[in-house]
Structure 1
Amino acid sequence: MILMKSESVYNSEDYDRIAQAIAFMRQHYLSQPDLATVAQHIGLSEYHFQRLFTRWAGISPKRFLQYLTIEYAKSKINQTQSLLDLTLDVGLSSPGRLHDLFINLEAMSPGEFKGGGAGLQIHYGIHDTPFGKALIATTTRGICNLHFLDAADQLTAEETLRQLWSNAEIIHDVKATQPLHDVIFDASISKDKKTLTLLVKGTNFQIQVWRALLKVPFGGMTTYQSVAEMIGRPTATRAVGTAVGNNPIGYLIPCHRVIRASGELSGYRWGLERKTAILGWEASHASCEP
């Protein structure tokens, strides 16, 4: 099932309710709350909650809950590792899926890094996405930031960018970022052969970690240890965790797909509920693909 933009999926208020429901279902997983109980918790009728959730996820809340278990996460870790071992052995990138994009990652030079974005024009906009509002910022060389926002963050979007790019010219320009938003999040747009370039600034180690994350396929999950091994630094698991947490381009550099080896999701720069929602959403859409 492919969700169409006309179904008003990209509504931050809807996402807020979805996130509340997912948090409640995770918290009370052992008692297996029924549809009526979850709906009551978020202040909707059973009918309206079922309709809202199915429109967002493409599947029922009950089935979605299956993707949030530790057992499911462990099975996906194993499947993903096998897939990565195969593709890395033969020198291929991980196979594309319906919702994947081709991503090129361009790292700034050390001089550009120190320059704080001097000479760059950064255009940004705030957009509704399936996972709440997001700040998308781009340059002529590629997307430089994608940050999910909470209500309290929206007024400080430009300030956030200025802290990251102190010497760049920052311009509010939704028209420049809307096409990027549509390619990234609109499931009605085919991703076939669409390429996005990301412009990042970071240490050599961080760049290695972020490049490794791009190999983790849509719907897959991996561990911090596996990422450390992918970059040839098997004892640097803690440093990998720090680099994952500093990812400047959410969703496109899929740091949300990195979890603990135990199957627990652990933290996320933009909130554990959002990480849970993204992983469950990806799992449900991956399961619908041929």
Structure 2
Amino acid sequence: MTVSPQNSYHYSVMRRALDVIDAAEAPLSLDELAGRMQLSPSHFQRLFSAWVGVSPKRYQQYLTLDHARRLLCDRHTVLDTAEEMGLSGTGRLHDLFLRWEAMSPGDVARRGEGLTIRYGWFASPFGEALAMATDKGLCGLAFAEECGHEAAWDDMAQRWPEAQFLEDPKAISSWVEAAFTAKGEARLHMIGAPFQIKVWEALLQVPTGHVTTYSDIARAIGSPRAVRAVGTAVGRNPISFLIPCHRALRKSGGLGGYHWGLPVKRTMLAWESARTEA
């Protein structure tokens, strides 16, 4: 898979398919689903093959609202202790090595003062993505499909209001390419308070195609009663998808919230599940 505008188009089709599938009283045939998408069956089938590699019938099962509950039953990753997770500096995700470094609390308190953050807009499997990076790695990844470009930019830029922002997509494109293709190395620069960093480190230990719960994360970082605070930290994760906050669910199997829109979260979980099984 390459990061291209075509991938964003595929996501927009899948996003529309969510509403159609949810509204249907029974699974739709290829002809019916393609017709609702106003595409020919053969074209729709090619989109599926190019985007995720499974049949539309199979993918419908991943997109249903109870998919998260099935994931929780079948692929629930329990994060027992921080020591067992090996929170020492590296995590494996999407079959590539993520190298990451956390900013010191003092640097965080300066609200980005002295930082140069380069940014650009990129096509992704989940719509257009705004990527931001310091010279140490990606520090921000936002998805604009549900909220729009302006809201995504404002959300990310206000996190580091004293930083200097430079539009320079070429400088960070290799990290973004690695993020979405699982080829190469994506470096991360995590900018957050110490508690947030602990939560984000825990998320990095959840394998692709698996999920965990907010309470599991709270126990893993040694704060079992801090489930609400964990949820807040998950929601404030600035590097979506790579720090996989979309893999955190409620104990009931409910999706919980997602900063960039629940349709994006559902599609990410479905995309990962389908590619893992394929």
Fold conserved (TM > 0.5)? yes
Cα deviation, 1:24-65, whole Å, max 9, x if unaligned, reads 22343x511222222222221222212212211111111112
Aligned-partner SS, 1:11: helix
TM-score w.r.t. length of structure 2: 0.87
The answer to whether 1:217 aligns with 2:207 is yes
Post-superposition offset of 1:160: 4.3
Q: Give, as a single letter, the amino acid of the residue that structure 1 aligns with 2:266.
A: T
Aligned-partner SS, 1:105: strand
Q: Give, as a single letter, the amino acid of the residue that structure 1 aligns with 2:244.
A: P
Partner residue in 1 for 2:103 = 108
The answer to whether 1:60 aligns with 2:55 is yes
Q: Give, as a single letter, the amino acid of the residue that structure 1 aligns with 2:95.
A: D
Aligned-partner SS, 2:148: helix
Distance 1:230 1:78, change over 3 A: farther
Aligned-partner SS, 1:67: helix
Partner residue in 1 for 2:2 = 5
Q: Give, as a single letter, the amino acid of the residue that structure 2 aligns with 1:16.
A: S
Partner residue in 2 for 1:269 = 259
Alignment of 1:67-82 (within 5 A): 67-68=62-63, 73-78=68-73, 80-81=75-76
Residue number among 4, 19, 24 corresponding to 2:20 in the alignment: 24
Post-superposition offset of 1:225: 1.2
Q: Is the 8 A contact 1:70 1:263 kept in 2?
A: no
Post-superposition offset of 1:10: 4.0
Runs of 4+ in 1 over 6 A off after TM superposition: 92-95
Residue number among 209, 223, 227 corresponding to 1:233 in the alignment: 223
Aligned-partner SS, 2:158: helix
Post-superposition offset of 1:200: 2.4
List alignment gaps of at least 5 residues for structure 2: none
Q: Is the 8 A contact 2:81 2:221 kept in 1?
A: no
Post-superposition offset of 1:169: 1.3
Post-superposition offset of 1:179: 1.0
**Number of residue pairs matched by the alignment:** 277
TM-score w.r.t. length of structure 1: 0.84
Q: Is the 8 A contact 1:158 1:170 kept in 2?
A: no
Post-superposition offset of 1:82: 5.5
Distance 1:162 1:260, change over 3 A: closer
Q: Measure, in 2, the Cα distance between the counterparts of 1:81 and 1:151.
A: 28
List alignment gaps of at least 5 residues for structure 1: none
Distance 1:153 1:56, change over 3 A: same
Partner residue in 1 for 2:10 = 14
RMSD (Å), alpha carbons: 2.9
Distance 1:9 1:159, change over 3 A: closer
Residue range with higher mean Cα deviation, 121-130 or 228-237: 228-237
Distance 1:62 1:218, change over 3 A: same
